[in-house]
Amino acid sequence: MKFLLQRLAFYLVTAWAAITINFLIPRLMPGDPVQALIARFQGQLDTNAIDSLKALFGLDKKQSLWQQYTDYWAHLFHGDLGLSFTFFPTPVSEVIAQSLPWTLALVGITTLISFLLGTGIGVFTGWRRGSWMDSLLPVTTFISSIPYFWLGLIAISLFAVKWPLFPADGGYDNSLVPAFDWPFISSALYHGVLPGFTIVLSAVAGWILGMRNMMVTVSSEDYVMVAQAKGLSERRVMFGYAARNAILPNISGFALSLGFIVGGTLLVEMVFSYPGIGYQLFQGVGAKDYPLMQGIFLIITLSVLAANLLADILYMLLDPRTRREA
């Protein structure tokens, strides 16, 4: 428990530092958002509009940096991340709220699937090394070494164009109104198949390889030999002794990869024009949409931290050696 509180305090400090840096970076860059907007409208704004924009962004008050900083925190706690330029005048929080669930669902589910699938295959290939299953490894490694966007484009050209089994882009059928009903959900699932499949295909090899190698290492540990000598069932030795210990590095890898769900899917969402947060970030960067970028970076930072905390907790639960004695 003490350990947990320590970790929690550590992550709070890290979060504070990350948010502060997040606050500072745009302000240290030359220019301000109003100038960016003026440039965007190519000077076709009159002075009144510029003044009201300045008022809108709070740039008319000539506040000190400290004042801005405290205001920033106050806004953060209200969930106010400012207004997006690209989707002006939609608030950033709304843009994120619209795109985040898509990314979370698509990448969250596929990350979970590739972890479970890869780890499962890894357990068996590691335990029965030398069997036909070993030939899976070069195949999956080859697939994972293909650049993702190319794999995505090939998948589109094959399964959406040549054999039009799946839609090539989008997150759902545009003729439907987003709602929690069966037509919409089934359409979303249908649109998610191709991007999801390519993600799993490219990610699964890493899990297989990691798990297999740990299985091979752990299988030669003395306690696995003891478990066999004890006459335990093969299942118990394989899962209870070998895999139970071999999975530890994979578990922390999995928890960490959860943190990158939010930020690490730019390519998928670009290739498939998927309405997720990576695609928004891409648009935000293109349009110098600082509030949006800041907001998305904040979400990414927080989710990476949360994933790290999760990794710590999982490890503590799974490996008694990391639990500190009171």
Partner 1 sequence: MSEPVLTISGLNVDYGTGADAVYALRDIDLTLHRGEVLGLAGESGSGKSTLAYAVTRLLSPPGVITGGQVHYHQRDGRALDLLALSAAELRAFRWQELSIVFQGAMNSLNPVYTVHNQLTDVLQAHRPEMKKADRTARARELLSLVGISPDRLGAYPHQLSGGMRQRVMIAMALALEPEIVIMDEPTTALDVVMQRQILRQLVRLREELGFSVVFITHDISLLIEFSDRIAIMYGGRIVEQAGASEIYRDPRHPYSAGLLHSFPALHGPRRELSGIPGSPPHLSSMPSGCAFHPRCAKKVEGCDTHVPVLAAPDADGSRSVACWLHHEAPAPAARA
Interacting residue ranges for partner 1, rule: CB under 8 A? 130, 220-223, 225-234, 236, 240-241, 244-245, 318-321, 325
Distance between alpha carbon 63 and the CA centroid of its chain, in Å? Answer: 36
We find the least distance from the C-beta atom of residue 132 to partner 1, in angstroms, to be: 16
Residue spans of alpha helices (H) in 58-163: 65-77, 92-127, 136-145, 148-156
Name the minimum Å distance from CB 99 to partner 1. 40
| Token pair belonging to 78 | 């209200």
Give the nearer residue to partner 1 in terms of CB position, either 104 or 232. Answer: 232
Q: How far is the CB of 228 from partner 1 (least distance, A)?
A: 6
From the CB of 258, what's the least distance to partner 1, in Å?
22
Q: Report the residue number, 177 or 229, with the smaller CB distance to partner 1.
A: 229
Q: Give the separation between CA 326 and CA 245, rounded to whole angstroms.
A: 24
Cα-atom radius of gyration of the chain, to the nearest Å?
24
DSSP state of 274: -
Report, in Å, the least distance between residue 170 CB and partner 1: 46
DSSP secondary structure string for all residues of 33-75: HHHHHHHHTTT---HHHHHHHHHHHT-SS---HHHHHHHHHHH
Say which residues have a Cβ less than 8 Å from residue 32's Cβ, sequence separation at least 6: 57, 59
Q: How far is the CB of 231 from partner 1 (least distance, A)?
A: 4
3-state secondary structure of 13: helix
What is the DSSP secondary-structure string of 190-227? HHHHHHHHHHHHHHHHHHHHHHHHHHHHHHTSHHHHHH
Phi, psi at residue 177, to the nearest 5°? -95, 125
75 touches 82 (CB < 8 A) = yes
Query: At its nearest, how many Å lie between partner 1 and the CB of residue 219?
Result: 9
Q: Closest by alpha carbon to 271, among 180, 118, 113, 146?
A: 146
Least CB distance to partner 1 at residue 120 (A): 19
Which C-beta is closer to partner 1: that of 61 or that of 230? 230
**Who contacts 97 (Cβ-Cβ below 8 Å, separation ≥6)?**
none
Compare residues 99 and 245 and give the one whose CB is closer to partner 1.
245
